[in-house]
Structure 1
Amino acid sequence: MTTYMCDFKQFPETYKGFELISINTIPDCASTGIYLRHKKTGLEVFHLLNDDEENLFAFAFRTPAKNSTGAAHILEHSVFCGSQKFPLKEPFTNMMNQSVNTFLNALTYSDKTVYPSASMIKSDYYNLMDVYADAVFFPLLKKEAFMQEAHRLELNENGNFEIQGVVYNEMKGNYSSFESVASDAQIRSVYPDTNYAFDSGGDPEHIPSFSYEDFRNFHKKYYRPDNCLLFLYGNIRTEEQLDFLQEHLLDRLEKTVPMAEEHHSYPFVSPEFIEMETQKPFENPVTVRAEAPDAGATGATVTVNWLCGQTADLQSYMECAFLSEVLSGHDGSPLTKALIDSDLGDDIAPVSGCINEARQFFFALGLHGVKTRNEKKVYALIFKELERLCTKGIDQNDIDSAIMTAEFSNREAVRSGGPYSLVLLERALNSWNYGGAPADGLFYRSTFDIIRKNCEAEPKYVENLIKKYLLDNKNCSFVMVKPSKKYLSARNKAEKKLIASLSKTADRNIIQKELDELHSYQNHRETEEEVACIPRLNISDLNTNVEKIHTEINVVDANGASVPLFTNTENTNGIAYLELWIPADVLSPEEYKYLPLYAYCAPNTGWNGKDWAECAQETAVHTGGITCRLFTNTSPNTEKSAALRKSLSKYNCTDRDWLIFSVRMTGEKTDDALKVFAECFSTYNFSDTKRLATLTAEAYGTIKSAVIPRGNKLAGTRAQAVKTHTNTVDEIWKGITQLFAIKAISEENPKNLSEHFSALTEKLRSAGALIHITADSETMQNLLPKMNDFASGLRLVPPAEKTVADEAAFLRQIVLPGEKEPCRNETFVISSQVGYAAAAINSSYFGTAENPSELVLSHYLSGTSLWERIRTTGGAYGAYAGCANLSGLFVLTTYRDPAPQKSLKTFGECLKDAAENPIGQDELLRMITGTYGDEVQPRSPYGRGNIGLIRTLYCISDEERQQKLTGLLNVTAEQIQQTAMHIHSHFDTCRTAVLCNKSEKITGVIIDLPL
Structure 2
Amino acid sequence: MKQVKGYTILQKQELKELNATGYLLEHDKTKAKVAAIETTDDNKVFSIGFRTPPKDSTGVAHIVEHTVLCGSKEFPVKDPFIELAKGSLNTFLNAMTYPDKTVYPVASCNDKDFQNLMHVYMDAVFYPNIYNEEKIFKQEGWHYHLDSVDGPLTYNGVVFNEMKGVFSSPEQLIERKIQQSLYPDTGYGFESGGDPVDIPDLTYQDYLDFHSKYYHPSNSYIYLYGDMDLEEKLTWMDEKYLSHFDYLKVDSEIKQQKAFAEPAEVEAFYSLAEGESDTDKSYISYNAVTGNSLDRDLYIAFQVLNYVLIQGVGAPVKQALVDAGIGSEIISFFEESICQPFFSIIAKNTEVSKKEEFVKIIRGELEKLVKEGINKDSLNAGLNALEFRYREADFGSYPKGLMYGLQMFDSWLYDSEKPFIHISANDTFKRLREKMEEGYFESLIQTYLLDNTHRSVVTAAPKMGLTAEQDRAEAEKCQRYFDTLSREEKENLVRETEELTRYQEEPTPKEDLEKIPLLSREDIGKKALPFSNMEKDVKGTKVLHHDYFTNGIYYIDLYFDIKPLLSEYAPYISLLTSLIGCVDTDVHDKLAFSNEILQNAGDFTFDTLLSRKYKQPKEYKAFMIFRTKVFEEKTEKVFELLDEALKTSHLDDEKRLKEIVSENASALYMRLISAGHSTAVNRALSYGSQMGKYDEAMNGISYYRFLKQLNDNFDEYKDNTIAILKMLMQEIFTKDKMMAGITCAKDAYEGFEKAFVNFVEKIPEKLEETGNIKPQISFDDRQQNEGFKTAGQVQYVARSGNFVDRGVPYHGSYRVVRAMLSYGFLWNEVRVKGGAYGVMCGFPSSGDGYFVSYRDPKLAETNETYKKVAEYLRSYDAEEREMTKSIIGTISAIDTPLTPRTKGSRSMGAYFSDMKVEDVQRERDEILSTSVENIRRAADMVDAILADGRICVLGNEEKVKENAELFGCIETL
Is 1:429 matched with 2:409?
yes
**TM-superposed deviation, 1:124:** 0.9
Measured against aligned partners, the alpha-carbon deviations of 1:726-761 in whole angstroms (never above 9, x if no partner) come to 222222222322232222222342333222222222
- Equivalent residue for 1:209? 201
- Equivalent residue for 1:967? 926
Question: Does the CA-based 8 Å contact 1:411-1:573 persist in structure 2?
Answer: no
- Equivalent residue for 2:261? 283
Measured against aligned partners, the alpha-carbon deviations of 1:129-174 in whole angstroms (never above 9, x if no partner) come to 1111111111011211111011111125884111100000000011
- Equivalent residue for 1:302? 284
- In structure 2, give the amino acid aligned to 1:900: L
**TM-superposed deviation, 1:287:** 1.4
Measured against aligned partners, the alpha-carbon deviations of 1:255-284 in whole angstroms (never above 9, x if no partner) come to xx3x116xxxxxxxx5722x2110101101
Aligned positions of 1:61-80 closer than 5 A: 61-80=50-69
**TM-superposed deviation, 1:372:** 4.1
Structure 1 pair 983–847 and aligned structure 2 pair: CA distance change class (3 A): closer
Question: Does the CA-based 8 Å contact 2:733-2:763 persist in structure 1?
Answer: no
Counterparts of 1:125 and 1:1009, CA distance in 2: 48
**TM-superposed deviation, 1:220:** 0.2
Question: Does the CA-based 8 Å contact 2:786-2:952 persist in structure 1?
Answer: yes
Deviates more, 1:166-175 or 1:665-674: 665-674
Is 1:260 matched with 2:247?
yes
Aligned positions of 1:422-821 closer than 5 A: 422-436=402-416, 437-456=418-437, 458=438, 460-506=439-485, 507-557=489-539, 562-608=540-586, 610-637=588-615, 655-746=620-711, 747-749=713-715, 750-766=718-734, 768-776=737-745, 779-795=748-764, 813-816=779-782
| Among candidates 411, 418, 433, match of residue 398 of structure 2 | 418
Question: Does the CA-based 8 Å contact 1:83-1:140 persist in structure 2?
Answer: yes
**TM-superposed deviation, 1:849:** 7.5
Structure 1 pair 958–201 and aligned structure 2 pair: CA distance change class (3 A): same
**TM-superposed deviation, 1:323:** 2.8
Question: Does the CA-based 8 Å contact 2:887-2:930 persist in structure 1?
Answer: yes
**TM-superposed deviation, 1:1010:** 4.6
Question: Does the CA-based 8 Å contact 1:769-1:797 persist in structure 2?
Answer: no
Deviates more, 1:676-685 or 1:828-837: 676-685
SS in 2 for 1:594: helix
Deviates more, 1:654-663 or 1:208-217: 654-663
Structure 1 pair 952–848 and aligned structure 2 pair: CA distance change class (3 A): farther
Question: Does the CA-based 8 Å contact 1:130-1:248 persist in structure 2?
Answer: no
- Equivalent residue for 1:918? 877
Measured against aligned partners, the alpha-carbon deviations of 1:270-323 in whole angstroms (never above 9, x if no partner) come to 5722x2110101101111221123369852221211111111222332232233
- Equivalent residue for 1:860? 820
- In structure 2, give the amino acid aligned to 1:177: S
| Among candidates 181, 186, 191, match of residue 178 of structure 2 | 186
- In structure 1, give the amino acid aligned to 2:168: S
| Among candidates 99, 107, 127, match of residue 88 of structure 2 | 99
Is 1:249 matched with 2:241?
yes
Question: Does the CA-based 8 Å contact 1:330-1:620 persist in structure 2?
Answer: no
Aligned positions of 1:216-365 closer than 5 A: 216-251=208-243, 254=244, 257=245, 259-260=246-247, 270=249, 272-273=251-252, 275-294=253-272, 299-349=281-331, 352-365=332-345
- In structure 2, give the amino acid aligned to 1:279: Q
Question: Does the CA-based 8 Å contact 1:849-1:967 persist in structure 2?
Answer: no
Counterparts of 2:507 and 2:557, CA distance in 1: 51
Deviates more, 1:91-100 or 1:493-502: 493-502
Counterparts of 2:152 and 2:267, CA distance in 1: 36
Measured against aligned partners, the alpha-carbon deviations of 1:962-990 in whole angstroms (never above 9, x if no partner) come to 11001110111111111124423653434
**TM-superposed deviation, 1:701:** 0.6
- Equivalent residue for 1:829? 789
Instruction: Provide the alpha-carbon RMSD of the alignment.
Output: 2.6
Counterparts of 1:675 and 1:531, CA distance in 2: 61
Counterparts of 2:910 and 2:27, CA distance in 1: 49
Question: Does the CA-based 8 Å contact 1:740-1:1010 persist in structure 2?
Answer: no
Deviates more, 1:171-180 or 1:397-406: 397-406
Counterparts of 1:764 and 1:315, CA distance in 2: 45
Question: Does the CA-based 8 Å contact 1:583-1:768 persist in structure 2?
Answer: yes
SS in 2 for 1:85: coil
Counterparts of 1:848 and 1:915, CA distance in 2: 16
Counterparts of 1:678 and 1:50, CA distance in 2: 42
Counterparts of 1:499 and 1:964, CA distance in 2: 52
Question: Does the CA-based 8 Å contact 2:646-2:729 persist in structure 1?
Answer: no
- Equivalent residue for 1:152? 143
- In structure 2, give the amino acid aligned to 1:1004: L
Structure 1 pair 440–472 and aligned structure 2 pair: CA distance change class (3 A): same
Measured against aligned partners, the alpha-carbon deviations of 1:462-496 in whole angstroms (never above 9, x if no partner) come to 22222222222221111222222243233223212
Counterparts of 1:724 and 1:301, CA distance in 2: 38
Counterparts of 1:242 and 1:498, CA distance in 2: 50
Question: Does the CA-based 8 Å contact 2:263-2:455 persist in structure 1?
Answer: yes
Measured against aligned partners, the alpha-carbon deviations of 1:496-530 in whole angstroms (never above 9, x if no partner) come to 23212332344212212221221111001124333
**TM-superposed deviation, 1:585:** 1.1
Measured against aligned partners, the alpha-carbon deviations of 1:663-708 in whole angstroms (never above 9, x if no partner) come to 2323332232222122112322411111100100111111211232
Counterparts of 1:152 and 1:454, CA distance in 2: 56
Measured against aligned partners, the alpha-carbon deviations of 1:898-931 in whole angstroms (never above 9, x if no partner) come to 1122201101113311212323322111101111
TM-score by length of 1: 0.90
**TM-superposed deviation, 1:44:** 1.9
**TM-superposed deviation, 1:894:** 0.3
Counterparts of 1:848 and 1:833, CA distance in 2: 37
Structure 1 pair 778–47 and aligned structure 2 pair: CA distance change class (3 A): farther
**TM-superposed deviation, 1:850:** 4.9
- Equivalent residue for 2:799? 839
Counterparts of 1:961 and 1:449, CA distance in 2: 46
Counterparts of 1:852 and 1:960, CA distance in 2: 10
TM-score by length of 2: 0.94
Deviates more, 1:933-942 or 1:732-741: 732-741
Structure 1 pair 630–408 and aligned structure 2 pair: CA distance change class (3 A): same
**TM-superposed deviation, 1:588:** 4.7
**TM-superposed deviation, 1:343:** 2.1
- Equivalent residue for 1:649? none
**TM-superposed deviation, 1:417:** 5.2
Structure 1 pair 284–776 and aligned structure 2 pair: CA distance change class (3 A): farther
Is 1:904 matched with 2:863?
yes
- In structure 1, give the amino acid aligned to 2:581: P
- Equivalent residue for 1:81? 70
- Equivalent residue for 2:967? 1005
SS in 1 for 2:283: strand
Structure 1 pair 834–217 and aligned structure 2 pair: CA distance change class (3 A): same
Counterparts of 1:936 and 1:849, CA distance in 2: 24
Counterparts of 1:846 and 1:578, CA distance in 2: 40
- Equivalent residue for 2:905? 946
SS in 1 for 2:25: strand
Structure 1 pair 322–731 and aligned structure 2 pair: CA distance change class (3 A): closer
Question: Does the CA-based 8 Å contact 1:72-1:201 persist in structure 2?
Answer: yes
Structure 1 pair 686–869 and aligned structure 2 pair: CA distance change class (3 A): same
Measured against aligned partners, the alpha-carbon deviations of 1:712-732 in whole angstroms (never above 9, x if no partner) come to 101111222244432222222
Counterparts of 1:839 and 1:83, CA distance in 2: 36
**TM-superposed deviation, 1:778:** 5.9
Counterparts of 1:410 and 1:791, CA distance in 2: 32
Identity %: 29
**TM-superposed deviation, 1:610:** 4.3
